[in-house]
Structure 1
Amino acid sequence: MSNQLAEQNNQQQGTQNAVKKFTEATVENVLSRIASIQATGELVLPENYIPENAVRAAWLILQEVTDKNNRPALEVCTKESIANAFLDMVTSGLSIAKKQGYFVVYGNKLQFDQSYIGDIALAKRVANVKEVNAVTVYKDDVFEYEVDANSGRKKVISHKQKLANIDPNKIVGAYAIVTYNDGSTDTEIMTLGQIHTSWEMGGSKGTSPAHKKFPDQMAEKTVIARSLKIETGSSDDSSILKDKATDKVSADVKHEIKERANSKVVQFEEAEVVEETSGDKGQSPASADSVQTEECPI
């Protein structure tokens, strides 16, 4: 028992020493750097976004972040990487306190990883997106969609789902519908195989408690991230950054989506699916085995 207490005391002392490495002066340095970028006119933060609040809230959260060996991030990460992670968060106009991203430790480097909530926030800000909604598809659902032969855009025609169908062990896919401010929509559809491939690209490889306990929610988050493969190099980007800085955020958004997406061709299994092209409505439902799958390049 005494050894256990001694170990706990050592861990607490280590955490306290680690916190000293990232002092209040470092936080001030980050805020000073942000102010200097704003002064040059290269950085225009979103309305009502207060970088000081975002940085100080993130600093409190960072004190609880650990690496895969349960060592405090403040103990193992370099000050430079910590400062850069904070700058990445702020220049994207996002907040960890709002779950728009999170800090992840890679070796001795701290990295800000944008979450799907951050994807949505950024898409709304720079890509004229009004809302994004995702739905899980289960075995025995009747799922019907069409592909516009001219634009290549998908559209969900019908999704009939019974309460009895909802079972985490019977997920066959998910889709997300992006609605733009002008009323137009776009749809992304992913099979379970594609979702699993996407998960394997993440740090947890799809084995985290959240993936195991709430696979439906994680599937919907994944398809939302993929649905936001949007061209952000429009005039709307000026709401965040100007000139070269705008190009950087656009590139970051595209890189984030590419990193999360996959191009593996897989079929919906066992779901009753009808795939139509515009003008082919009225065909009778077909089984999943007869549906021609398509590659979803990013």
Structure 2
Amino acid sequence: MANQVVIDHELQNKATTILEGVNLNQPGALSIGKLRTVTDARVNKQQSQGLDLPGSYSAPNALTQAFLRLQAIKNSNKQPVLQACTPASIIQSLMDMVVQGLSPAKNQCYFIAYGNELQMQRSYFGTAAALLRLDNIVDIGAQDIHEGDQVSTMIDKHGHLVLDTDNTHIDWMNQDKELIGAYAIISTSDGIDHLTIMTKKQIEVSWSQSKTHNVQNKFGSEMAKRTVLNRAAKMYVNTSDDSDLLTGAINDTTSNEYDDEPRDVTPTKEEQSIQELLDGFEKSQAELAKKEEPADDHSSSAEGEQEELFKDGTITPDPAKVNA
């Protein structure tokens, strides 16, 4: 196990003391320092029980970045989410982030408040990173399709739908034309490339059931790739031999992003405000797609805010990696 650690009894006792008499479903019941202590204790316990994280992944550093960003996020009523959301939902969203090995600093995930519940959602990059942690997946790719592009498919000898690369041509000059679909390819260790393709109509049906359909419409190409990749991933996640903890976290986060069950999609005041919460993230994601360097909007304040995160003596991040 790359990151298996021993149980930190002192940290566990500190978290237990904090939680005594606390209602985790009461918004704002824990301060940021106490939230950090409890979350660190949960991560430490999971790692001591076999949670396997990538060798290059630093859970303390990812949590530091997450808490710094959470301090700047507000809900639709302009309330800081750390006070407006329940500690239970905050801790769970952070645990989902860690279990999947995601980092806010790499724009792999972001946080949104729905009522008094905080949810962690993955970007396209985060979904790809999480899926690549599954043992049988060796490569992942997705492509948006626009008017003028030529995409051809065929059935191979195993009965799998595959991309006919000889007769497929994606022209970058068509990117300003209307989106007509998207496809994703997941390559598995048995040498098979599994193709999932969706028409624009299928994508829009998925978006209509999503809590962020306004943002998806605004950033169609990138969001279309995430939609088709999420659909492609379902079979592999649910048939994987990997840990239930990892696959469960991937499934839970996917359900946060897209709801496959029919529901009332009439936008509420809160849902209309989600676009404001996501604009900054999605713009930086679009910039990454153009190979531009994303801005770290927390670099100037990180040093001072970290003192609050660690004042109770929780896990200390590696200084060499905290800004990585």
**TM surpasses 0.5:** yes
Q: Do residues 48 (structure 1) and 48 (structure 2) align? A: no
Q: CA RMSD in A?
A: 3.0
Shift of 1:228: 1.9
Deviates more, 1:122-131 or 1:159-168: 159-168
- Aligned-residue identity in percent: 31
Q: Do residues 122 (structure 1) and 130 (structure 2) align? A: yes
**Aligned residue identity for 1:38:** Q
Unpaired runs of 5+ residues, structure 2, are: 1-26, 263-324
Secondary structure of 2:152 counterpart: strand
Match of residue 217 from structure 1: 222
Shift of 1:226: 2.0
Deviations 1:176-218 (A, max 9, x none): 222335543111111001111111222122x22x632x32222
Instruction: Return closer, same or farther for 1:253/1:68 CA change in 2, 3 Å cut-off.
Output: same
**1:251 counterpart (248, 251, 263):** 248
Match of residue 159 from structure 1: 168
Alignment TM-score, normalising by the size of structure 2: 0.62
Secondary structure of 2:205 counterpart: helix
Q: Which has the higher contact order (CA 8 A, sep 6+)?
A: 2
Secondary structure of 2:187 counterpart: strand
Q: Do residues 132 (structure 1) and 132 (structure 2) align? A: no
Q: How many angstroms apart in 1 are the aligned matches of 2:90 and 2:261? A: 33
Task: Choose 1 or 2 for highest CA Rg.
Answer: 1
Q: How many angstroms apart in 2 are the aligned matches of 1:249 and 1:261? A: 20
**Aligned residue identity for 1:31:** D
Instruction: Return closer, same or farther for 1:87/1:71 CA change in 2, 3 Å cut-off.
Output: same
Alignment TM-score, normalising by the size of structure 1: 0.67
Secondary structure of 2:210 counterpart: coil
Instruction: Return closer, same or farther for 1:89/1:57 CA change in 2, 3 Å cut-off.
Output: same
Does structure 2 conserve the Cα–Cα contact (< 8 Å) formed by 1:136 and 1:216? yes
Deviations 1:127-150 (A, max 9, x none): 433332222222233322113374
Q: How many angstroms apart in 2 are the aligned matches of 1:163 and 1:44? A: 39
Higher strand share: 1
Instruction: Return closer, same or farther for 1:30/1:256 CA change in 2, 3 Å cut-off.
Output: closer
Does structure 1 conserve the Cα–Cα contact (< 8 Å) formed by 2:43 and 2:95? yes
Q: How many angstroms apart in 2 are the aligned matches of 1:44 and 1:142? A: 42
Q: Do residues 147 (structure 1) and 131 (structure 2) align? A: no
Secondary structure of 1:249 counterpart: helix
Q: How many angstroms apart in 1 are the aligned matches of 2:69 and 2:145? A: 35
Does structure 2 conserve the Cα–Cα contact (< 8 Å) formed by 1:188 and 1:227? yes
Instruction: Return closer, same or farther for 1:152/1:85 CA change in 2, 3 Å cut-off.
Output: same
Q: Do residues 228 (structure 1) and 233 (structure 2) align? A: yes
Instruction: Return closer, same or farther for 1:234/1:166 CA change in 2, 3 Å cut-off.
Output: closer
Instruction: Return closer, same or farther for 1:152/1:21 CA change in 2, 3 Å cut-off.
Output: same
Unpaired runs of 5+ residues, structure 1, are: 1-17, 238-245, 265-298
Q: How many angstroms apart in 2 are the aligned matches of 1:248 and 1:225? A: 18
Alignment of 1:189-204 (within 5 A): 189-204=197-212
